[in-house]
Amino acid sequence: MEIKKIKETCLYVTDLERSRRFYNGKLGLPVIGEVKDRHIFFRAGESVLLCFLPEASKKGGTLPPHYGSGQLHLAFEVSRDDYDGWKRTVEEAGIAVEQEYDWGRGFLSFYFRDPDQHLLEVVMEGMWEKS
């Protein structure tokens, strides 16, 4: 048995509308679900980015409660051909690129922050592939 991939990941945010303006408005991720005053979900390729208000998700209910805080990290994978375009998109949206890193073997990534100071990364496809 083998796990195929992480299907969704979660960030805890302080303002759902601000997260919508950032992830949908600036990065272009489609909104695929939302519950007022609780969460908003975005499509990121084949994955899903879940943005929850922490106090709302901490209560639980239909699903088990969960909660988190602090500056979390996630990476978006893009094709090598799209890498420079994504960097331009981020910069043209007025988002500061905090750092670009050369991982060797021809792989680059760059880092930037969302409005809640989560560290986001855009990484070239293939960097973590099995050998």
Report the distance separating Cα 68 and Cα 62, nearest Å. 19
Per the listing, tokens 């695929």 go with 32
pLDDT, tens only, 93-116: 999 999 999 999 999 999 999 999
Q: What phi and psi values does residue 99 have, to the nearest 5 degrees?
A: -165, 145
Q: Is the model's pLDDT at 130 over the cut of 90?
A: no
**Could you tell me which residues are beta bridge partners of residue 51?**
11, 40
Share of the chain above pLDDT 70, in %: 99
Which residue ranges form the domains of the chain, and what is each CATH number?
Answer: 8-58+67-124 (3.10.180.10)
pLDDT, tens only, 42-89: 999 999 999 999 999 998 788 899 999 999 999 999 999 999 999 999
Which pLDDT belongs to residue 5? 87
